[in-house]
Every structure is written in C-alpha cells, then in structure tokens.
C-alpha cells in the first residue's frame, strides 16, 4: 500500500480554526477588512494550498541537498528557487496582509498566516526570502520617508528587490546594545556605513538584482547602549544616474548550516572602501525601537514556520504508520495472520497523538496571535486595540517558542515512528528535524524569549496583559461549558490560571524588592508553564468548537472526535505539569545559579 500524498497541513484543521474556532469572517465587519468575506479568504487559501503542494513541495529535497554556493564573492542559489520565486510573488505572498495603498491584498493577518503555513511546510527556505522582504519593506512603510518608500519599499513589495534584517555582529550576538557598526553623515544626505554583520539570512543571492539591508548602526557621536543605535536602509547596489552601481557591501563568508539550507546565512562587510551609502530610516537613535516591529513579526513568523515544519513531519509519519505493516496485535495467537499497519500499535498511536496535540495546538496558538495583531491594528475602538496589543505582546514570545521547542520534539517523534528508516537521509523527517532546530535559536533564543515574557510582558502595565489573557481564558471556559465539554477540563484550566497569577505576583514582588536575579532565575520554566496553560486554552476552545460541530451533525464526526481526544490528551498529560513547574519557579532553587564555571 502506497502512503498518501503529504498534505503539508490538514485543510479541515485550517478551516476549523478560521471558521469554527476563531470566526475569522467576523473581522470583515471592521472597515479595514470590509472588502473581504469567506469567499476571498478561501480563494487565497486554495491558491496557496495548490501552489505549495504541486509546485513548491517537490523542490524541497533538491534544494536541501544542494545548498547555495559562495564563489567569486557572490552567492548562487539552487536553480529551482529561481523558478519558484516569481510565482510566489505573483501569488501575492509579499503583500497579502499589507494595505491596498501599498499594493497589498489587505487580508487579515490570521488568514495570510495560515495560508503561508502551507508554503512554509512545503519549502521553508523559499519562503524565507519573501518573509524577510515583507518585514523589511514594512519597516520602511512604517518609519521611512517618501523618498525611501519610492526607492526601496515599492520595489520590495513588488518582488523586484528583496530585503534582510542586518542586526547581529560577531562581537555582540543578540546583545544589540553592543552594536559597533558606524554611520558617518555626509553633506549629500546619506551616511557612510562601516562595519560587519553575521548570520544575515538571504544577505546575498541571485534571485533579484538588488537586496536592501535594514541595518543597525551608530551615528558618529551617538550615546552608548541601545539609545545610540539607529536604523538604515543599506542596499547592495545603489542608484546613480538611473542605474544600479555597487554600494560597497561585500559577502565576507557563508555559514554552513545544518538546516534551512536553501536560504544562505552570511557574514557581510559594509564600507571596506569607505563607499557604502546608508539612508536613515526614521529618527536618529530609534533603531532598536523601530526594529522591534520587524523582530516581533519575525518571531511570530518563526512560530508559524515551526508549526508548519512539525506539521509536515507529522503528516509524513501518519502516512507511513498507515501503510507500514509490521507485527500483530497484542494477544494475537496466530503467527501466520497478516501483519498489521503499525498505526494499530498503541505506542505508535501515542507518538502520533502527541504530535497531533503539539502541531494543532501550535497552529491554533499562532492563528490566535495573528488575530490579536489584526485587532490591535484595526479594531474599531481604541480600548479594544490597546487590549489586543497587550495580548499580542504577551503571546508573541510564547507563539515563537512553544511551536519551536515542542515542534522539535514532534519532529523527533516523526523520526521515531519511521523507526530505522527515519534515521536515514532517504526519508525526509531527518531533514525537517534539522530545519526545526534553528527555530529555537534565531529571532531570539528560548532564553531571551523567557526573559522578555517574565521580565517585561507579564508585569507591564501592572499586569494588564495577563489580566486580558485571563479574560480570554474565562470566555473559553464558558463556551466549553455551554457546548458540553468535560467540566473538569475547564476547572483544571481555571485552577492553573489562578496559579499562574499567584506565581507572577510572587515573582514580580521579588523583582520590585530588587531581587531581579531571583525573579528571573527560572524564567525558562515560567515560559514553559505559561505556554502549557496557553495551549490548554487553545485546546479547550477547539474542544468547544468540536462539541458544537457534533451537536449540529456537521461531518465528519471522526474529525471532531479526534479533536476531543487530542484535547483530552493535553489536559491529562500536560496541564498537570504546571503545578510542579510553578513550585520550582517559586522555590528559587539555585543549583545552576550558584554553579561556578570551574565546577563544570
């Protein structure tokens, strides 16, 4: 029996999230989305699904097997990427959620996000070029002047040029306060930029004629630290007398990554010949504040990619388990009886159900986060926009981290389901595992996200974001009760939510007393327990929608029963971990805090 074709994502899952859990068409009552309806949502979704499955997915293995080449100072990418780049631009991926005023489709981000997940599951590297370009162009859209928008943003949104975020430097890593790249003002209005950047994804290629680097640098005489960093648009080639000329941006080296192998990660050198022109974006010394717009968008994008990478591996494992025959049921007496598909073995079902719980919980999480972004930007009232923005801030580090950390576990389980075949390059799960690992690292490691969540997001505004989260969870508990969901699930979630509030107050109090180290010592554990609760919220909302679907007789009943089984799994195996994690955070256990370097 041949394994079914990998769907990348389950269409029924996506429709369920959009139309039964989140009620995405309700966004069309807002003026910004008034030109849309479910029909236009479905049209874009179907276009992305078809392109992802028929065109993009077949390119994944060859692109993974033949990474970009660095030769004669330039990067050449796989020819297949050149074949799919323009069709992806034509599909509208670059501007799906951008306003019509800049050439966009003005779709809700929640719709664009789930549509884009198909493309990410098909070939994440190919999507990377476009995602980075959209983020960079959006920075110019938000903060650049009209000249920058005309010169750079318009061409980037059109797919004529691509964009990057050039933040990291060899000596600074994730510490943007230690950026050393310099920018010297000139009488001509531009700046001369000098410095080095590293790990710049898509920093050079031969897909388009130009690349625009949104670059952090210090204007001469700027104050030290974060407050002295400015943002510049630095093109690979600049326009002079109507033509493109080199702009003194050189590739200094290529990182040989174990995954994401179609998207080059580079070391770049700016201004070795003192002729690198940079153009100030916005006001001086506001670069990090501006860049956080792109960074937060990128963090959500990483979460979507992580969910998609776990999803494609899950569906590959499911297809394999349906068709791979091995062994017989426990208690079978006849050794001549036909072997059964391994899906009939309880431990294989355990591994697949855990993958399902992680994958579908992750997709719900990133979709909910994207919907918050829609409301934060476009809700009718200022109060509703502010509340959605607080929720968005709170959910962003969780939406980035949970799909990446738990997605890596799901990817490992996909290999395990394949057994010995999974531990080979002849099958794809090993490649997706390599890809997935980067998602816990780039755009802020899990440790950085945990510090952001506990040190900033949950205590900001006197805990207003956490209060808003509590309101959302209580609404889900009410919906679940009305739908006839197992009452104990709502009760357990409410108890976990109360425990989270108490723990946050305890840790926040330590910080206010000056014990910041003690407050943040177990920030990674705090992030994990918060994520478990947030994903339990997602599963309760999905369980409620599933019960509602069963009550109205919507087909297929098995789809809804599967949702209820996965929800049951989460409440039985994951939510009980919250109490132990909370106790650990509260205890101040200091083994690794007091561990001295010489003791390792």
In angstroms, the CA 180 to CA 176 distance is 9
For 241-278, give one letter per residue: b (16+ CB within 10 A) or e. eeeeeebbbbbbebeebebbbbbbbbbbbbbeeeebbb
Q: Tell me the C-alpha to C-alpha distance, in Å, between residue 161 and each of 73, 116, 154, 209, 213.
A: 19, 20, 9, 6, 11
DSSP calls for 439-483: TTTTTS-HHHHHHHIIIIITTGGGTHHHHHHHHHHHHHHHHHHHH
Q: Which two tokens stand for residue 588?
A: 């101040």
- Active-site annotation holder among 250, 297, 360, 443: 443
Tokens found for residue 343: 């899906």
Query: Does residue 360 carry a catalytic annotation?
Result: no
DSSP-derived pairing of the beta strands 211-219 and 230-235 = antiparallel
> Which of the 8 DSSP states describes residue 589?
-
What tokens appear for 430 in the block? 């090993």
Give yes or no for a contact between 93 and 116, defined as CB atoms under 8 angstroms apart.
yes
- CA 88 vs CA 5, 39, 85, 119, 526: distances in Å: 22, 21, 5, 9, 39
- Per residue, the 3-state secondary structure of 171-226, as one string, reads CCCCCHHHCCCEEEECCCCCEEEEEEEEEEECCCCCCCCCEEEEEEEEECCCCCCH
Could you give the C-alpha distances from 181 to 196, 231, 350, 375, 545, in angstroms and in order? 7, 11, 51, 37, 52
* Residue 438 CA from chain centroid, whole number: 11
Rg value, the chain, Cα:
25
Contacts of 165 (CB under 8 A, 6+ apart): 132, 135, 136, 200, 213, 214, 291, 294, 295, 298
Of 242, 244, 240, 236, the residue nearest 211 (C-alpha): 236
How far apart are alpha carbons 428 and 425 in whole angstroms? 7
Question: Which residue blocks in 484-595 are alpha helix, DSSP H?
Answer: 487-512, 516-520, 523-551, 557-573, 577-587, 591-594
| Separation CA 432–CA 259 (nearest Å) | 8
**How many other β-carbons are positioned within 10 Å of the β-carbon of residue 520?**
17
d(CA 211, CA 249): 10
Cα distance between residue 68 and residue 445, in whole Å: 25
User: Alpha carbon 3 to chain centroid distance?
Assistant: 29
Which residues have a Cβ under 8 Å from the Cβ of 143 and sit 6 or more positions away? Answer: 231, 281, 282, 286, 290, 293
Residue of 356, 330, 412, 399 whose CA lies nearest to 564: 356
Q: How far apart are CA 310 and CA 412, in angstroms?
A: 9
What residues act catalytically? 443
């Amino acid at each position: 029996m041949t394994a079914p074709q990998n769907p990348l994502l389950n269409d029924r899952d996506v429709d369920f999230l959009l139309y039964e859990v989140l009620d995405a068409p309700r966004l069309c009552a807002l003026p910004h989305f008034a030109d849309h309806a479910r029909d236009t949502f479905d049209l874009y979704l179907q276009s992305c699904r078809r392109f992802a499955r028929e065109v993009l997915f077949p390119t994944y293995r060859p692109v993974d097997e033949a990474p970009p080449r660095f030769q004669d100072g330039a990067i050449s990418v796989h020819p297949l990427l050149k074949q799919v780049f323009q069709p992806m631009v034509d599909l509208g991926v670059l501007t799906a959620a951008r306003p019509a005023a800049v050439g966009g489709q003005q779709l809700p981000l929640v719709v664009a996000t789930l549509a884009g997940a198909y493309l990410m599951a098909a070939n994440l590297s190919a999507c990377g070029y476009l995602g980075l370009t959209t983020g960079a162009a959006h920075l110019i859209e938000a903060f650049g002047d009209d000249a920058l928008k005309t010169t750079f943003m318009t061409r980037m949104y059109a797919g004529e040029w691509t964009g990057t975020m050039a933040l990291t430097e060899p000596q600074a890593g994730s510490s943007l306060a230690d950026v050393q790249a310099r920018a010297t003002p000139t009488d001509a209005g531009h700046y001369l930029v000098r410095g080095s950047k590293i790990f710049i994804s898509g920093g050079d290629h031969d897909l388009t004629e130009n690349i625009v680097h949104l670059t952090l640098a210090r204007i001469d005489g700027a104050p030290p630290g974060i407050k002295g960093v400015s943002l510049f648009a630095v093109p690979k080639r600049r326009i002079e007398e109507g033509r493109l000329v080199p702009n003194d941006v050189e590739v200094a080296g290529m990182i040989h990554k174990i995954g994401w192998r179609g998207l080059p990660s580079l070391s770049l050198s700016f201004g070795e010949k003192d002729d690198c022109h940079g153009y100030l974006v916005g006001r001086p010394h506001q670069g990090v504040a501006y860049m956080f717009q792109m960074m937060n968008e990128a963090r959500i994008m990483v979460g979507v990619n992580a969910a998609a990478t776990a999803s494609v591996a899950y569906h590959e494992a499911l297809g394999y388990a349906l068709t791979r025959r091995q062994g017989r049921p426990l208690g079978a007496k006849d050794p001549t009886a036909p072997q059964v598909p391994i899906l009939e073995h309880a431990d294989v079902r355990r591994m697949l159900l855990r993958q399902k719980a992680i994958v579908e919980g992750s997709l719900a999480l990133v979709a909910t986060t994207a919907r918050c972004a829609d409301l934060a930007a476009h809700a009718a009232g200022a109060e509703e926009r502010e509340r959605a923005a607080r929720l968005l801030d709170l959910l962003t580090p969780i939406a980035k981290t949970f799909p990446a950390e738990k997605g890596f576990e799901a990817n490992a389980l996909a290999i395990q389901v394949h057994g010995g075949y999974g531990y080979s390059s002849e099958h794809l799960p090993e490649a997706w595992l390599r890809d997935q690992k980067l998602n816990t690292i780039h755009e802020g490691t899990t440790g950085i996200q945990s510090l952001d969540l506990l040190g900033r997001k949950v205590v900001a505004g006197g805990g207003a974001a956490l209060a808003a989260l509590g309101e959302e969870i209580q609404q889900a508990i009410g919906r679940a009760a009305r739908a006839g969901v197992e009452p104990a699930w709502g009760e357990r979630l409410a108890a976990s939510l109360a425990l989270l509030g108490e723990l946050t107050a305890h840790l926040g109090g330590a910080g206010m007393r000056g014990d910041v180290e003690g407050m943040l010592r177990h920030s990674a554990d705090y992030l994990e327990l918060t994520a478990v609760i947030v994903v339990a919220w997602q599963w309760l909302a999905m369980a409620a929608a599933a019960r509602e679907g069963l009550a109205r007789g919507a087909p297929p009943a098995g789809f809804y029963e599967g949702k209820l089984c996965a929800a049951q799994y989460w409440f039985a195996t994951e939510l009980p971990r919250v109490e132990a994690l909370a106790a650990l955070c509260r205890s101040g256990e200091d083994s690794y805090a007091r561990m001295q370097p010489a003791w390792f």
